[in-house]
A and B are shown apart, each in its own frame.
Chain A
């Protein structure tokens, strides 16, 4: 079975540009998570959706970050405008219903220069 699929796997962009990261959760899963990992702060939860509805976005660092889940099989995390301090690995994860095991994608490696 396909796992959580993220794209792009790697992206290098210039400061000020818009960045869009994409995620396809595991089929049938109805909870979706976006995490960010940096050396300084480790793995941090940015936002969590259940049944396509954002439940907890307290981890979103600032208004430059936005996330959407238009349907059960697709989510985006957008950064506009991007800054060098946004350079990190962004992970998408999904689970079947709240309370079940969460499975992670392989991450999107973002570098903002």
Chain B
């Protein structure tokens, strides 16, 4: 699976949008971009995923560049409960290779009042 690069940490003001960048320049055509987050002392929580189109759900929006080499996770109105480590993961979808998630270091997001 392709590796990802994320900033180690970022702060965000409560109520403002949080934009989390991720670089995945070696992504291949059959690999999806997944985002998970891990709130302290909890298991990783699925947020959103996409292949090449922008995606939105009740938690966040995912913007993938046209060349698919980078993406941005947008939390539209950050709350204190969004403080967590956010992981951007590129995941291959070839069944023979398995569908495991490989976690990197993630971005530690601190939402401040």
**Min distance, Cβ A55 to any Cβ of chain B, angstroms:** 6
A55 to B100: give the CA distance in the assembly, Å.
11
Q: A65 in the interface, Cβ–Cβ < 8 Å?
A: no
> With a CB–CB cut-off of 8 A, which chain B residues contact A99?
93, 95, 99
Q: Contact flags (1/0) for B65-91 with A, using CB distance below 8 Å?
A: 000000000000000000000010000
Partner of A103 from the list B46, B49, B100, B104 (CB cut-off 8 Å) is: B46
State whether A104 touches B98 (Cβ < 8 A): no
Q: B54 in the interface, Cβ–Cβ < 8 Å?
A: no
One of A14-22, A40-48, A70-78 contacting the partner: A40-48
Q: B102 in the interface, Cβ–Cβ < 8 Å?
A: yes
Interface residues contributed by chain B, number (CB under 8 Å): 17
What secondary structure prevails in chain A residues at the interface with B?
strand
**Min distance, Cβ B7 to any Cβ of chain A, angstroms:** 16
> With a CB–CB cut-off of 8 A, which chain A residues contact B13?
none
> With a CB–CB cut-off of 8 A, which chain A residues contact B49?
101
Q: Closest 9 interchain pairs by CB?
A: A104-B43, A43-B103, A98-B99, A104-B44, A98-B95, A106-B43, A99-B93, A99-B99, A45-B100
> With a CB–CB cut-off of 8 A, which chain B residues contact A113?
none
Q: B45 in the interface, Cβ–Cβ < 8 Å?
A: yes
Chain A, residue nearest B101 (CB): A102
